[in-house]
């Protein structure tokens, strides 16, 4: 992915752009659970690159929000791994710099996908417990933003609890033709409109146990379709 024809850096806000013609890495170059043999097309973003980029995002967040108290709002289920790693990097920076970021972590669960399609029916689970956000600096941590409809609805809901400030960290942002709303404040990677799994991202609850972010194959979609 160091090939400049495939990926380029667009600065802190835009993240790393993966171009439409990026084919990914061959599966035989990496290790992954044998039970997913035949269910994946390629390794799209290797685990090591995810971790390096997450560490950079942690540094950006520390630069912007250091010496503040924040509530980290992790969007489940897909965001749990990204959130855990991001928080660990922020904790390490707090221990080893002259800035400190006091964090409380809370969780909310969103469900809007059926198979590989986003639906209009958004379920927010845990929404009744968000009174803790009142008057607080909030960092929403989400694994993937595609059309932006889900994030737009969540932001509207969070604002009802009158937080002092709201920032969003998104590991992945998809380029989709019907996108709405603005980009997250902190973006890991901007990717083409392909259905990806792994690093806690799922397809009907499968593939969360992949370390890498991979593209699911058509065989995999059929195998785990509900």
Catalytically active residues are: 146
Cα–Cα separations (whole angstroms), residue 133 to 9, 82, 105: 33, 21, 11
State the DSSP code for 115: T
CA 213/CA 52 separation, integer angstroms = 14
- The residues that bridge with 52 in the sheet, in sequence order, are none
Residues 6+ apart with CB under 8 A from 96: none
Omega before 226 cis (within 30°)?
A: no
Instruction: Look at residue 183 and give its three-state secondary structure.
Output: coil
CA 93/CA 88 separation, integer angstroms = 9
User: Which residue, 139, 67, 137, 133, is CA-closest to 97?
Assistant: 67
In the numeric block, which tokens belong to residue 174?
Answer: 């998809």
In the numeric block, which tokens belong to residue 31?
Answer: 């290790």
């Amino acid at each position: 992915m160091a090939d400049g024809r495939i990926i380029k850096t667009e600065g802190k806000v835009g993240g790393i752009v993966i171009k439409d013609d990026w084919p990914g890495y061959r599966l035989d170059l990496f290790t992954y659970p044998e039970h997913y043999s035949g269910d994946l097309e390629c390794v799209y973003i290797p685990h090591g690159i995810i971790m390096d980029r997450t560490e950079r995002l942690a540094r950006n967040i520390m630069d912007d929000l250091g010496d503040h108290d924040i509530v980290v709002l992790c969007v489940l289920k897909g965001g749990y791994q990204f959130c855990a790693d991001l928080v660990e990097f922020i904790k390490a920076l707090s221990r080893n710099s002259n800035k400190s970021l006091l964090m409380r972590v809370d969780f909310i669960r969103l469900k809007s996908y059926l198979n590989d399609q986003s639906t209009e029916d958004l379920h927010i689970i845990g929404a009744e417990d968000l009174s803790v956000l009142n008057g607080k600096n909030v960092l929403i941590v989400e694994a993937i933003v595609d059309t932006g409809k889900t994030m737009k609805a969540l932001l509207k809901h969070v604002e009802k609890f009158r937080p002092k400030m709201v920032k969003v960290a998104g590991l992945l942002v998809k380029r989709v033709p019907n996108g709405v709303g603005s980009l997250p404040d902190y973006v890991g990677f901007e990717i083409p409109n392909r259905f990806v799994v792994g690093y806690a991202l799922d397809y009907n609850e499968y593939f969360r146990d992949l370390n890498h972010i991979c593209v699911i194959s058509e065989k995999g979609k059929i195998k785990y379709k509900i």
